[in-house]
């Protein structure tokens, strides 16, 4: 099998860079169609519009809030009627995914401009499409963005829980890439891992340990500090390249199990992935010192370390069994990227162990 990694063409990050669209030269005199979330259309576009109009021609539309096929078709018709050269997704993961699919369908260049650092979706080629009820109906790959444009002042002004959740998603990156690499499992782009990606995945973990707490405080005070910039890079670029070209495994597999339990529905992706990472530490027999390090990090930034903190205080073994079995029965699940002797009971034991270990600490 070949080794493979995929990347966005250009990654730009900095304070106030959205105001001049990152200085992207090829935008000049072209037409840019922006799909923005409600907040972006009300708060971000008005203060930047006149500056953007000096660079290129602008059209924009408000995102409905859901990445469904109906919404993708609606946005595609509008974008096509404008005959645009570039499409920019401005908002969270769902707005970015919708714009990504539309740009891919229309064959125009794509700019991902995340306004939060809650997940590692912006750099990726992978897209998730939902139905109106919020269940996943399609998962497929398009193309990595031509540009990823991350304005750290906008990220600093977003609610801190998004940044912390992004750290939870990024926390899984090294562990999952290492598991896939060690066992020669395919990564998300369909190859074996390159050393370059393993180095980025490890740097992702180190960056969280070194700068996570300071970045959280920075975001609480809406300050763009170097620590915040390092964590935005870890959450967005390092984690994004790390998951797509390094592979997913236990943390996201257990996240998928937890998502089958209603109590977790108010919790963010990265919060549940962080708990899945902790369960994975026990499932994969990681050494005590490493387990202590991960828990200490999670407590320091406020990521959940017990089932209670992800809405599952009273979850029974039979509820857990049903939730795990659903994912376990899917042979395509990342859960199977762990070990050949994996059983649902073993996964439940690891979830219970992660909860018990978290409960032993002073949180
Ligand atoms: Zn994730």
169 counts as catalytic: yes
Could you tell me the CATH number of the domain that includes residue 126? 3.40.50.1970
Name the H helices within 21-111: 38-39, 45-53, 69-82, 93-106
Is pLDDT above 70 for 362?
A: no
pLDDT for 120: 86
Residue 34 banded pLDDT, cuts 50, 70, 90:
very high
Mean of pLDDT values over 18-37: 97
108 with 22, same domain? yes
Q: Which residue, 130, 156, 182, sits at the end of a domain?
A: 156
255 counts as catalytic: yes
pLDDT for 363: 45
pLDDT for 361: 65
DSSP letter assigned to residue 284: T
Residue in 97, 151, 256, 269 annotated catalytic: 269
Inter-residue contact 255 to 269 (CB < 8 Å): yes
Is pLDDT above 90 for 341?
A: no
Residue in 120, 252, 256, 355 annotated catalytic: 252
What is the phi/psi pair of residue 139, to 5°?
-140, 120
Is 1 contained in some domain? Answer: no
Task: Provide the whole-model pTM.
Answer: 0.96
How many angstroms separate the alpha carbon of residue 123 from the centre of ligand 1? 12
Is 104 contained in some domain? Answer: yes
Mean pLDDT of the chain, nearest integer: 95
Mean of pLDDT values over 124-143: 89
| Spatial distance between the Cα atoms of 358 and 113, rounded to a whole number of angstroms | 36
Inter-residue contact 334 to 185 (CB < 8 Å): no
pLDDT digits (tens, 9 = 90+) for 279-332: 999 999 999 999 999 999 999 999 999 999 999 999 999 999 999 999 999 988
Q: Which residue, 156, 176, 203, sits at the end of a domain?
A: 156
Domain count across the chain: 2
Q: Which two tokens stand for residue 220?
A: 């609480």
Q: Which residue, 156, 173, 192, sits at the end of a domain?
A: 156
Is pLDDT above 90 for 159?
A: yes
230 counts as catalytic: no
How many angstroms separate the alpha carbon of residue 35 from the centre of ligand 1? 23
How many angstroms separate the alpha carbon of residue 127 from the centre of ligand 1? 12
Q: Which domain holds residue 305?
A: 160-360
151 with 122, same domain? yes
| Spatial distance between the Cα atoms of 356 and 363, rounded to a whole number of angstroms | 13
Could you tell me the CATH number of the domain that includes residue 315? 1.20.1090.10
pLDDT digits (tens, 9 = 90+) for 65-88: 999 999 999 999 999 999 999 999
Number of helices followed by number of strands (H, E) in the chain: 14, 8
How many angstroms separate the alpha carbon of residue 15 from the centre of ligand 1? 25
103 with 205, same domain? no
82 counts as catalytic: no
From the list 139, 147, 240, 247, the residue with the least C-alpha distance to 189 is 247
Is 4 contained in some domain? Answer: no
Which residues touch 153 (CB under 8 Å, ≥6 apart)? Answer: 15, 16, 224
How many angstroms separate the alpha carbon of residue 70 from the centre of ligand 1? 24
128 with 256, same domain? no
Is pLDDT above 70 for 94?
A: yes
Is pLDDT above 90 for 147?
A: yes
Mean of pLDDT values over 9-38: 97
Mean of pLDDT values over 139-146: 94
Mean of pLDDT values over 100-122: 96
167 with 147, same domain? no
Q: Which two tokens stand for residue 125?
A: 């080629």
Q: Which two tokens stand for residue 321?
A: 């069994």
Is 334 contained in some domain? Answer: yes
How many angstroms separate the alpha carbon of residue 240 from the centre of ligand 1? 9
225 with 332, same domain? yes
- The answer to which of 131-135, 188-192, 205-209, 228-232 has the lowest mean pLDDT is 131-135
Residue in 169, 181, 256, 355 annotated catalytic: 169
How many angstroms separate the alpha carbon of residue 269 from the centre of ligand 1? 7
Higher pLDDT, 103 or 135: 103
Residue in 146, 255, 256, 355 annotated catalytic: 255
pLDDT digits (tens, 9 = 90+) for 248-293: 999 999 999 999 999 999 999 999 999 999 999 999 999 999 999 9
What is the phi/psi pair of residue 4, to 5°?
-150, 140
Residue 243 banded pLDDT, cuts 50, 70, 90:
very high
């Amino acid at each position: 099998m070949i080794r493979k990694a995929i990347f966005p063409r250009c990654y730009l990050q900095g304070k106030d860079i959205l105001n001049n669209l990152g200085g992207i030269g090829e935008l000049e005199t072209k037409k840019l169609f922006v799909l923005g979330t409600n907040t972006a259309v009300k708060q971000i576009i008005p203060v930047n519009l006149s500056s953007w109009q000096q660079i290129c021609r602008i059209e924009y539309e408000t995102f409905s809030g859901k990445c469904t096929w109906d919404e993708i078709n609606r946005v595609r018709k509008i974008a096509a009627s404008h005959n645009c050269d570039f499409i920019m997704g401005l908002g969270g993961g769902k707005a970015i995914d919708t714009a990504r699919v539309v740009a891919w369908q229309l064959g125009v260049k794509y700019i991902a401009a995340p306004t939060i650092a809650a997940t590692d979706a912006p750099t990726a080629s992978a897209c998730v499409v939902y139905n109106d009820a919020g269940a996943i109906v399609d998962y497929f790959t398009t193309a990595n963005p031509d540009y990823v444009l991350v304005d750290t002042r906008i990220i600093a002004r977003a609610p801190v829980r998004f940044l912390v959740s992004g750290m939870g998603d990024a926390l899984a990156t090294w562990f999952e890439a290492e598991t896939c690499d060690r066992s020669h499992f395919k990564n998300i782009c369909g190859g074996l891992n390159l050393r370059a990606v393993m180095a980025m995945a490890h740097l992702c973990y180190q960056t969280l340990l070194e700068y996570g707490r300071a970045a959280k405080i920075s975001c609480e005070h809406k300050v763009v500090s170097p620590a915040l910039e390092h964590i935005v890079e870890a959450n967005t670029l390092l984690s994004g390249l790390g998951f797509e070209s390094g592979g997913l495994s236990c943390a996201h597999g257990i996240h998928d199990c937890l998502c089958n339990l209603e109590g977790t529905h108010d919790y963010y992706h990265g919060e549940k992935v962080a708990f899945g990472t902790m369960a994975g530490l026990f499932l994969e027999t990681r050494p005590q010192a490493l387990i202590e390090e991960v828990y200490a990090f999670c407590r320091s930034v406020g990521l959940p370390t017990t089932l209670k903190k992800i809405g599952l205080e009273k979850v029974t073994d039979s509820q857990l069994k049903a939730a795990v079995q659903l994912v376990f029965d899917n042979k395509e699940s990342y859960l199977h990227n762990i070990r050949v002797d994996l059983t649902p009971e073993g996964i439940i034991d690891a979830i219970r162990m992660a909860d018990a270990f978290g409960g032993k600490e002073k949180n």
